[in-house]
Amino acid sequence: MPKRRSLRMLLFVAAAAVLVFSFRFGFADAWVDQYALPASSWSELSELPAAAAPAVVKPKADPGPDIPLKPQAVVLSQRVTEYHISVALDEQAGSLTGVQTVTWKNPGHKSVSEMYLHLYPNAFAPGSTFIKESKGQLRGDKMTAGGYGSMELTSLRTEQGETLLPRLHFVQPDDGNKNDRTLATFRLPEPVKPGSSVTLRMNFTVQLPDVFARMGKAGEFVMAGQWFPKVAVYETAGMRGRANEGWNLHQYHGNSEFYGDFGIYSVRIDVPATYKVAATGFQTKSPVVSGGRKSLQFYADDVHDFAWSASPHFEYVEDSFSSPGIPGVRIKLFLDPLHMHLKDRYLHAAKSALAKLGAWYGEYPYSTLSVIVPPANANGAGGMEYPTLVTAAAAQDDNPGYELERTLVHEIAHQYWYGLVASNEFEEAWLDEGFTSYSEDKLMASIYGVVPNLPIEASYMTNPEPLNLSSWRFSSSDGYAENVYLRGKLVLSSLERQVGDKMMSKILRTYFQKYKFKHPSASDFQKVVETVTKTKWTDFFQAYVQRGEMADFAIDSITTHKTESGYESLVLVRRYGGSAQQVSLWLQFQDGQSVRKKWDGVQTHVQLKLQSETPLVYAAIDPSLNVVLDNRRYNNYLQAEVPKEQRTRFASGITQIIEGLFGTMVW
């Protein structure tokens, strides 16, 4: 008995120490006062417009979306950052005014003297790298004349009140464009030691652009994505293969998306009282309504970003859902009125996608999933992913086809590869987009029976490039889209064809479970593949990820001549590109006999000698179209009777015709 009492006492002391330690770094603040701003920040709210700090009155609860929830005290990530933000929307000016307190904990083993902030809205200012590279358009949507956006830090102070704004300057590590103001740095008064933290207070304003690329305003609709000053990621040694710890620093580019640390977000949003608000996480209080405005408090933990959208025209629909891998989720639809009659299609797609993803890869750990359907004039805000919040395709048609479901399941699949695994989309975008596109195909086939035509899709690949290129290093925006989305998906499909469906499912589940909340690299994925299959895949990853190749198996030549006993044929088979993999051969003879053979593809070429009673008519390689990365299938078949000179001219002519045709079909 004395030993047990001693053990209990030790456990009590340890628990108390853990509690004190959590307050030491400020992370326990999120559980205090129903997740409002820290008490020390309330004095700063007077700097916002009066509408941003309404008088506390008994709220009139709006129907549906404003029902508060309570979080579960389970820590899933490292929680490097903690944000407390209060933001007010000026709907007339199309602007945001915000106050932010952010605490950053040093995850490394060295002291840090410099801090870096992403000021993403400056991508929409004249002369920015984003506008230069995108030429003011993205995914078919164009920037309206004069519809610029921007962000300004109006105050930057330490917790003790020391101003740091004079130290702030903008940096352009990727292209040296002095007009780009999307990445800023400043020196701290004191270095942040390993394991210690620093708290910064800042005021900021955002001019929302006319929406054409992910964020902005369109009439009374607002999409606030990447809208607050965001701390860059400090990577530790060994993370994503990094030799030395340090900041991961990139500007906002025409092709790139985002990369952030996991943390806690407590966000108060002030909007006109008639607006409905969709946001990352969930609401923790009933709205406070006063003077024609309302203030809503949201909370999210173990996420690496926070986005929100608001409109007085949203039609709200909610349903609860649970299944194996999905403990319980409130699915919240914020629909454009044109699509209100399609609510069942949206709910079915969301529920089905969550159920499949939960069963295939692992648990969805959040309690909400919000789906926003933008209006037709905000198409650029559609088809985008944020933690626990996605935007569907804009409501441009009252009777859309399967593009409704395809867009939605794609964005929900992002909740796993973007939201939870959280790859670096600046440097290895395919680890999100390629994996998501692969999952999208699986979801569409499993739920709706819509099966992709991979051989046709492979034929679109006219300019393969390495997948490990930084997003802005691709030859063009089309090259980025082709490789990151399409070829990335085909690489995974090729791997699946070689290992089988069950093994591929095991690979992806293992990868997800091992690296959720971890920011893995392509090398980390390769290690998982090799561990699960117990096979080396170095050649595969070098060919398709690092060198940017496509597969190309061909019947190079056929020579047939008469012998005393019949005919002898020599068939030269060649692998022009890609890594070795087993491939089938079909050999057809004049008397109707056929022969199937297998070639391991290890050598670059092999010659087959065939003895037969009748002449060989033709040979075909990969007749079942199993090599999904082969984009030059015109050389997979060859007739034996075509003279060599004529065959060469014929093959060359077809090559030019097909390559020219495919070149006009690339998006």
Structural domain boundaries enclosing 159: 78-304
Q: Could you tell me which residue, 39 or 631, shows the higher pLDDT? A: 631
pLDDT beyond 70 at 166: yes
| 133 and 107 housed in the same domain | yes
| 476 and 521 housed in the same domain | yes
Residue labelled with tokens 């309690």 = 367
| 191 and 97 housed in the same domain | yes
Distances 425 to 237, 256, 518 between C-alpha atoms, Å:
19, 6, 14
Last residue of a domain, one of 547, 570, 592: 547
For the chain, what is the domain count? 3
Q: Quick check: is 364 catalytic?
A: no
pLDDT classification of 42: cutoffs 50, 70, 90: very low
pLDDT beyond 60 at 427: yes
Catalytic residue among 35, 116, 485, 567: 485
pLDDT classification of 71: cutoffs 50, 70, 90: low
pLDDT average, residue stretch 243-267:
97
pLDDT classification of 65: cutoffs 50, 70, 90: confident
pLDDT beyond 70 at 540: yes
Last residue of a domain, one of 519, 547, 575: 547
Locate 65 and state its tokens: 């979306």
Last residue of a domain, one of 516, 547, 578: 547
Distances 627 to 83, 441, 442, 484, 581 between C-alpha atoms, Å:
48, 17, 18, 19, 9
Q: Could you tell me which residue, 90 or 657, shows the higher pLDDT? A: 90
Residue 534: CB atoms within 10 A of its CB come to 6
- pLDDT tens-digit series, residues 182-208: 999 999 999 999 999 999 999 999 999
pLDDT classification of 88: cutoffs 50, 70, 90: very high
pLDDT beyond 60 at 261: yes
pLDDT of residue 72: 62
pLDDT average, residue stretch 615-639:
96
List binding-site positions for Zn(2+).
Answer: 410, 414, 433
- pLDDT tens-digit series, residues 97-112: 999 999 999 999 999 9
pLDDT beyond 80 at 133: yes
Tell whether 17 is covered by a domain: no
pLDDT beyond 60 at 636: yes
* 350 burial via Cβ count (<10 Å: 0-12, 13-18, 19+): buried
CATH code of the domain covering residue 441: 1.10.390.10
Distance CA 461, CA 441 (A): 18
pLDDT classification of 579: cutoffs 50, 70, 90: very high
82 neighbors 26 (Cβ within 8 angstroms): yes
- pLDDT tens-digit series, residues 555-566: 999 999 999 999
pLDDT beyond 80 at 651: no
Tell whether 23 is covered by a domain: no
Q: How many helices (H) and strands (E) does the chain have?
A: 12, 32
| 658 and 524 housed in the same domain | no
pLDDT of residue 325: 86
Q: Quick check: is 576 catalytic?
A: no
pLDDT beyond 90 at 40: no
pLDDT beyond 80 at 41: no
| 104 and 231 housed in the same domain | yes
| 530 and 611 housed in the same domain | no
| 534 and 599 housed in the same domain | no
pLDDT classification of 648: cutoffs 50, 70, 90: very low
Catalytic residue among 235, 257, 385, 411: 411
pLDDT of residue 646: 42
| 190 and 126 housed in the same domain | yes
pLDDT of residue 56: 39
Q: Which of 35-49, 299-313, 438-452, 626-640 has the lowest mean pLDDT?
A: 35-49
Distance CA 81, CA 79 (A): 6
pLDDT classification of 379: cutoffs 50, 70, 90: very high
Q: Which residues contact 510 (CB under 8 A, 6 or more apart)?
A: 528, 531, 532
Q: What is the DSSP letter of 287?
A: P
pLDDT of residue 242: 93
State the chain's mean pLDDT as an integer.
89
pLDDT of residue 20: 39
List binding-site positions.
Answer: 410, 414, 433
| 190 and 235 housed in the same domain | yes
pLDDT of residue 641: 73
CATH code of the domain covering residue 288: 2.60.40.1730
